[in-house]
Amino acid sequence: MNELYRAIQESKDLRDKIKVIGIGAGNSPFEVDFFQKNYEVPFPLFSDQDLSIHKVIGEVRTPYFFGVKINDDGSNEVFYSKLGGFKDANEFLKLMVKLSGI
């Protein structure tokens, strides 16, 4: 994920169009902070200690990835939703760009 985030930030065309966040399902703020510092995570991480976010998104297993596009009218659409990791950050980024229509 750090590699994906860095690839986005290094692209003038993408850094203002793609945002990355992480949600610590079942994790306390302390655990999220420890994880962020230990793994030098450069993007925002949010605690979901009470699993309220986790429940809203369908109690999916982790890791789980969502691609969400915010439309010009303020509505949003999920264009990607998948369980599991990815092997290559650059290939995953290309897929997100393609599917989102950026």
Give residue 25's pLDDT. 95
DSSP string across the chain: -HHHHHHHHT-TTTTTT----EEEET--HHHHHHHHHHTT--S-EEEETT-HHHHHTT---SSEEEEEEE-TTS-EEEEEEEES--S-HHHHHHHHHHHHT-
Q: Which residues of the chain have pLDDT under 50?
A: none
Give residue 73's pLDDT. 95
Contact (CB, 8 A) for 86 and 67: no
Give residue 79's pLDDT. 97
Average pLDDT score, the chain: 96
Give residue 23's pLDDT. 97
Contact (CB, 8 A) for 46 and 24: yes
Mind listing the pLDDT tens digit for each residue in 32-61?
999 999 999 999 999 999 999 999 999 999
Give residue 56's pLDDT. 93
Give residue 101's pLDDT. 93
- DSSP-assigned beta bridge partners for residue 36: none
CA distance 12 to 50: 37
Give residue 18's pLDDT. 97
Angle at 69 between CA 96 and CA 73, to 5 degrees: 150
